[in-house]
Structure 1
Amino acid sequence: MRSLSTARLPALAALLLSAAPAAAQEPPAVDAFAQAMAARQVADFARRQKDVRAMLTAAAMLREIPTQDQPGAEPGGFGAAALFAEARAMAGGDARVRAEVDFAEKAARSRGVVASAFGKGLVRSVRVVDPRGAYRFTVTAAGGTPLRVGAIGDVGTALAMRVQDGAGRTLCLDDNADYAPVCQLTPKTAGQYRIDILNKSGARSRAVILSN
């Protein structure tokens, strides 16, 4: 297992520094969507470097974000429990490191959720997308207000995301052969917008869909 260092994780160090409160009395406002996306990047780093402690950091980042699971959402996919499980698998037969993972998971559970920092939290839904298939849904968005949608699939798969307005015009397309596409836009007018999650790989993928 490799240890976590700011020399190897400049992006994470910058993230932590930028999150420091400007004044000791006032906690910083936290963007739940941005923190979930940052946790995904830290988890990717942990997988590449086989760094258990980095994976614990990613799990802790997700654990403190309250989510509203949509009715009928399937369990699993990208979440704190899944990342703690990955960290435990990385630890292998090292009893000391496995004990550290167990302690970190229990500590995260005991802290609870700081709901006031995130307001209503993220809307989260987990869907299974067939190989070369798509999952389509519509959202009602307000005009002049940022709309952010992310989909995080199983590692090793390739997902794309497309957002279209009521006239069928594509307003956002993230097709970078990544497993976690994101679309961020500010609709000019209120209305219905269609979102397509496209699985471009030959394997089924769970897609954890996050929206603000």
Structure 2
Amino acid sequence: MCERAHSCSLCKSRNEYFLEGGASSIFMICKDFVSANRNDILDCGNQANDWKPCIERKIADQVFRACCDRFVPPECRGLCIYESNPIEARVVLMHTIQPSRCRLYKYLSSIIHCAAQTHDNTACCRDMGIHEIGPQCLQMCGPQAKPRQLWGTRSLRKDRVVCLAKWDQIMSCHQAGLRARKILKMPTITSH
């Protein structure tokens, strides 16, 4: 139902798509925004095309935020965007983790879980060199088995803090891992 799409007024077709993922990540979008053409999907989100995203940033961010709205407190939701510009990513991090705001040690695993949307993006992260900082950084490249796991006691563990230097690349890989799939239309049942 196109009415569920965030920007449905721009939708010219009633064909619908959703982003694959868990129940917390399903979000209806219009065909104009996402192509589910098999050739388009093969031309994105893999090593052969330098991990070019399959889903445009605006839509990807909406899905990310919808998940964060459920699992991340408001003071940490500033990180719930697929920011791939290195300078902008650092600004977002600094504004979110300033003293007495977001407790990353408590919520970073949930943010990563929402960014991954059930996809393991470790191959992309390896290509980006994220493991060169430390192998523990690859844990930020896939869905979390325990999304509410603490990564420190009163602050983020140092072995996780160093990974934030590559936050832009981690987010780029998570966006590249998103996929679209066509929804089959269900017949409308009318009662007489």
TM-score when normalising by structure 2: 0.25
**Which structure: greater helix fraction?**
2
